[in-house]
């Protein structure tokens, strides 16, 4: 556990129950996931049962209970992207990275996830790597995009 890092996050808040989601967001941003030991401390400090924290953590897709990779790939499976072949892009990424959707490669370089509409339907199919959007992402473009992050 990285207690100093967690303390830095917790000092930003009053320690009230309603701070739970912002605290979890900060932990997610800082660690790229929600480590169990840190959640135990949050449970104590905010006086929120651990079961409730896990309910929140599993309800919102922005949270992950497993470590994320250095680069986070998100492929849009919204209606427009789906109709334009984003499912095949996901399959290609999964095959090339050797990882199922929702998981991270063994070398911790990439996490692969799917999301709803990314708000760029005109560019469908759309995928993101970290904060960068890649419109018109076809199976043929996948190797080139991955190469940029290796």
Chain residues in the site for ligand FES (CB under 6 A)? 76, 78-81, 117-121, 124, 126
CB within 8 Å of 43: residues ≥ 6 apart: 49, 50, 53
The rounded distance, in Å, linking the Cα atoms of 81 and 77 is: 6
Least CB distance to ligand FES at residue 72 (A): 17
Q: In terms of CB distance, is 46 or 81 closer to ligand FES?
A: 81
The string of DSSP letters for the chain reads --HHHHHHHHTTS---GGGHHHHHHHHHHHHSS--HHHHHHHHHHHT--HHHHHHHHHHSTT--SS---SEEEEEE-SHHHHHTTHHHHHHHHHHHHT--TT-B-TTSSEEEEEES--S-GGG-S-EEETTEEE-S--GGGHHHHHHTT-
CB of 79 to ligand FES, least distance (A): 6
Which is closer to ligand FES, CB of 121 or CB of 145?
121
Which residue of this chain has its Cβ atom nearest to ligand FES in the complex? Answer: 78
Minimum distance of ligand FES from residue 46's CB (angstroms)? 35
Nearer to ligand FES, 13 or 91 (CB): 91
Q: How far is the CB of 101 from ligand FES (least distance, A)?
A: 16
Q: C-beta of 145: minimal distance to ligand FES in Å?
A: 16
Closer Cβ to ligand FES, 98 or 119, answer by number: 119
């Amino acid at each position: 556990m990285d207690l100093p890092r967690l303390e830095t996050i917790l000092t930003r808040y009053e320690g009230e129950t309603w701070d739970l989601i912002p605290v979890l967001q900060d932990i997610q941003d800082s660690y790229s996931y929600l480590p169990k030991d840190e959640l135990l401390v949050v449970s104590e400090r905010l006086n929120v049962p651990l079961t409730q924290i896990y309910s929140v953590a599993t309800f919102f897709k922005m949270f992950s209970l497993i470590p994320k990779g250095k680069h986070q790939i998100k492929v849009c499976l919204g209606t427009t992207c789906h109709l334009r072949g984003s499912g095949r892009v996901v399959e290609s990424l999964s095959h090339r990275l050797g990882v199922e959707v929702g998981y991270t490669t063994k070398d911790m370089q990439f996490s692969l996830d799917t999301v709803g509409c990314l708000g760029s339907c005109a560019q469908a199919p759309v995928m993101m790597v970290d904060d960068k959007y890649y419109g018109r992402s076809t199976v043929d473009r996948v190797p080139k995009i991955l190469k940029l992050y290796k």
